[in-house]
Amino acid sequence: MSRSTKEEALETRSRILDAAEHVFHAQGVTRTSLADVALAAKVTRGAIYWHFKNKGDLFNAMCERAHLPLEAMVLETADRPDREPLAQLRASIVFAINDIVHNPQTRRVFEVIFHKCELVHVDDPIRVRQHEGFDDCMHNIERLLKLACVQGQLPESLDTHLATVSLHAMLDGLINNWLFSPQSFDLGGQVGRLVDACFEMLRCAPSLRTV
């Protein structure tokens, strides 16, 4: 494939993803067909199938385009024991939330994930991908919390699994609630304090200790 042909293929793929993002956001994932996406992208259905196996594959690619920068930051932090894990985890969370607040594309994707994606069948590719993303996020957060315990940033007796469940649930709830009602609180302006409050709970809550 020539360079110009590769560039055209990448441009077409990006245009399809942009169209899917907007149509999923406007209509919801369940009610959107590949024909709807093709119409919005001004391509044929064949062009979509050239790049994506099905709607689930297209949805996953759209999500990965928004998730990958954060996932890369968390993974890099987890693999660098010379860095302060809590500081790096905090920076990753603040970066991700600010991206949702200030980047219209990221915000649309998360609005689709949280509010416009009906997950019914357990073996649906979209549901499977969501579970994989959830598990990866939980795993990487717990790796960082364990490292923070080793370095003395968190109590040695911290139940890191329970702490991960609590931290993830609070962050997930903050994002979900703000997307549902952005005027109810200033997520972008208060994100640092909110994350610090979460970390303070991990340091101080007796109920999160193993002994």
pTM: 0.81
User: Which token pair is 85?
Assistant: 């894990």
Beta bridge partners of 209: 158
- Residues in the chain with pLDDT < 50? none
Task: Say yes or no: 48 and 74 in one domain.
Answer: no
Count CB atoms within 10 A of the CB of residue 105.
Answer: 15
Task: Say yes or no: 61 and 47 in one domain.
Answer: no
Query: What is residue 113's predicted lDDT score, i.e. its pLDDT?
Result: 87
For the domain that residue 103 is a member of, what is the CATH number? 1.10.357.10
What's the rounded Cα separation, in Å, for the pair 59 and 179? Answer: 19
Query: What is residue 119's predicted lDDT score, i.e. its pLDDT?
Result: 65
Query: What is residue 126's predicted lDDT score, i.e. its pLDDT?
Result: 74
Task: Say yes or no: 12 and 92 in one domain.
Answer: no
Query: What is residue 166's predicted lDDT score, i.e. its pLDDT?
Result: 95
Contact 127, 121 (CB under 8 A): yes
What's the rounded Cα separation, in Å, for the pair 117 and 26? Answer: 11
Among 175, 180, 102, residue whose Cα is nearest residue 137: 175
Among 63, 23, 25, residue whose Cα is nearest residue 43: 23
Beta bridge partners of 158: 209
Task: Say yes or no: 15 and 45 in one domain.
Answer: yes
Convert the pLDDT of each residue in 67-109 to its tens digit.
Answer: 755 555 555 555 555 578 899 889 888 988 999 999 998 999 9
* Number of domains within the chain: 2
Q: Which domain holds residue 33?
A: 1-52
What's the rounded Cα separation, in Å, for the pair 15 and 111? Answer: 20
